[in-house]
Amino acid sequence: MTEQQLEQLDDRQLVVKFMEPVLLPLRGASDARKVEALKALPASLRPLFLLRVLDGHAAGSAWEYYVWTGILLQSPDTWPAVLGSLRELGALELLETLADTAAVHRKRMDGLAASASPTVNSGIRSVGVDAIGEDTDRLKTDGTQSESIPSKTPYPPPSASDLERNPELQLEMDALYAQYKATIQEAYRSGAELIRAYVRENGQTY
């Protein structure tokens, strides 16, 4: 695509289109391959990779947002890496929304911990789904402070049925999802500016 064609896309379309050649080959790839692909990007563009890790499965609906953020929160590596990338993009309002979302998930975790017996809880495994494949929830990056949920005993992953069973939780997530949809635009706007600057500096096509 030429710089002129890139300029015709809105911010989100530009980020998705620009990252597509990187992300599509990673579907079903190993963790090591995904880390390799991330590190191969120019440092200025790495936040876009992790932005898509977040939004790739969170954008569709309130329940998808609930499930995917809950899965990412149980990852000791991917969640803090995503938050670090959003800080680099200056998406401060989005970070506040994610902090509020994390508080809702932590409340769920506390409830599970209080109600589960040691025998039942010891047999639970956390299962993840990947925004660009099936196992990026364990993606490792260097130098990022962990902000995921600390836990010695894993929890069952969140599911859409949680919202069906709990109308109050449904209302909370509907409101948070609306905030997410509004505030993630800031991240895409910053990401699009990075891409346009990169294209201007590195040639007329990519």
CA distances from 92 to 20, 27, 83, 99, 146 (A): 25, 30, 10, 11, 18
Of 3-7, 32-36, 128-132, highest mean pLDDT: 32-36
Q: Are 156 and 73 in contact (CB under 8 A)?
A: no
* pTM tops 0.85, yes or no: no
Convert the pLDDT of each residue in 64-83 to its tens digit.
999 999 999 988 888 999 99
Convert the pLDDT of each residue in 78-133 to its tens digit.
899 999 999 999 999 999 999 999 999 998 888 777 766 554 443 333 333 333 33
In sequence order, the 6+-apart residues with CB closer than 8 A to the CB of 82 are 50, 51, 53, 54, 72
Task: Report percent pLDDT > 70 for the chain.
Answer: 77
- In DSSP terms, 2 is beta-bridged to 205
Looking at per-residue confidence, does 143 or 27 come out higher? 27
CA distances from 170 to 11, 57, 116 (A): 30, 18, 22
